[in-house]
Structure 1
Amino acid sequence: MVDPMMEELEFLAEILNKYPLESLKKIAESEGIDYYRLKRLYDKYYGKYLTVGCIINIKKLGLRSFVAFLSVSPDRLMETAVRMTQNPFVTYVNPAFGFKNGLSITFHAPDDQKDRIDEMLSKYSDDYEYYEARAYPYSGDDNFGRWYLSYDYAILLDILKWDARTPITEIARRLGKSRPTARYMINRLLEEEIVLGFTPLIDMNVHDRGVIGLTRELNEEVLERFREYEISVGVLPGYGYLLEWFFSSKEDLGSKVLEFSNYVEKLLIEYFEPAFKEMNDRNLKNRHQRMVKKDGSGYHSILDF
């Protein structure tokens, strides 16, 4: 795989953020740029370091989002990660070391199954902590929907989440529908605000390390202080805030990590290793299909996996 040039990758990401689903020819015409230059960049990076995915309104579909940190011994790390990534309600699993040594995970739980989370996590570790995570800033809205679509829409969400630029002919084939029906289904997801939009996603091969910090009080100075790095903020209702900072292991950031720790009470470092990425990707490709019952009546139990 070609090592990415960040300027080229960021340029392509910026273009696809503006035109997530349009053809390369239409993008080139709209932006007044050379089509063949754009196609060379696209062929070089798309599907390798960059894809376009859809933003799903999980709240409307009755899913709550959580982060969890589990103590797992080194000799059981891979085995436990394999078991966890077989559960479609788990979204990502990565090795992590800090206030917990073992695994850092994100997962979803149906609103009516949140009382089963302890039982689910205890299958993997006797020592864990978890927090519900909401978008920043926090709206305070606590109204959750439910799964109300047919099973075909679970397949469609998996396709759009994995690669929203999948040709409509291929989407229709995988759904077993006509192209007009496939377009109708996509438009319905957009009109009902289940899909909120589309965004380019840079692969973790570029950012292969992450620092997670938990804090009860958010000092927004940290966002300005580290603005040259990619930082995301989440709200942990009932606790405080989560800060996640992504970077490359090629950078010498030891002093920055120490400085970052001044803004949080708990800190750990995540490792986005290739073997874990493969497991996470396998899970991601069809997770909605495995979460949703085939009769469309709702979700499976988070304890079934």
Structure 2
Amino acid sequence: MTSETHAPPAPPAPPAGREHLSIWDELADLDHELSHIDVPVGGHTVRTRVLRAGTGPDLVLLHGTGGHLEAYARDLAGLAADFRVTAYDMVGHGWSGLPDTPYTIDVLTAHLLGLMDALGIGRAHLSGESLGGWVAAWTAAHHPDRVNRLVLNTPGNIANKPEVMEKLRASTLAAVRSPDEETVRRRVAFLFHHKDMVTDELVGLRRAVYTRPGFTEAVERILVLQDPEIRKDFAWDPVWVGRIAAPTLLLWTDHDPTGGLDEAALLLGWLPDARLHVVTDAGHWPQWEKPAEFLAAHHTFLLARKDPA
């Protein structure tokens, strides 16, 4: 058993009540680089949108189903104070390429590793939200040499409940097939406990993604993971989860629509080295609803030092 001592206090995080004006406002004082990088994935070359900022240990952020890197807009400046942060649009998502192949967990993992290779990142901390947490965990289990520490942020439906899969599939398909303001707003609001935090800007970004040429077909390739027959090959299971050697933080909330604290307890029992932090009064996107607490949890966990055995 190992013990840990915490690193020196992290730089001040944004106050919990800080008013959010826009994504550009969040990035206004942050030196960052937005670029597109070609990443080979299973015979395809995927043009991948990437935002990088900060210096320090590498930290890669992975968004959720149908999402894009702006999911972390409220956190990038705070994380970049201590980390070399990389946020990106996963294959088939955001403004990255939409190759004609199912976006299963192994494909999403290959894309992540290919991006890390292209950026010269040997090992990194991974922090993934929802689908991104699933990909991060799979990567840590199957490619342990590439992962330092792991944060699983509302990873979602650990118990593989059919009703949760169907709800996510139906709401996403509705928003992509009829991307009017009202329908897309409902899809974005699914992520929030406080619905009044859903901004016109976020809804507009989702509408822009959902109306990209080819995205109607791409969303079917994203949602294959909500098909139980396909999902079973990658479903959360103690056999592969138990192989994760990386110290892991489970970042849960008390109003996550995709899975309750009972599912967090499952993961705690499966993971060899894990701890739980519950963000209260938040839904599926604590990184947006509670950025100060999200940042504090990351700094405390990722900068902790292990004492010699």
TM-score normalised by the chain length of structure 2: 0.25
Q: Which has the larger radius of gyration?
A: 1
TM-score normalised by the chain length of structure 1: 0.25
Q: As a proportion of its length, which structure holds more strand?
A: 1
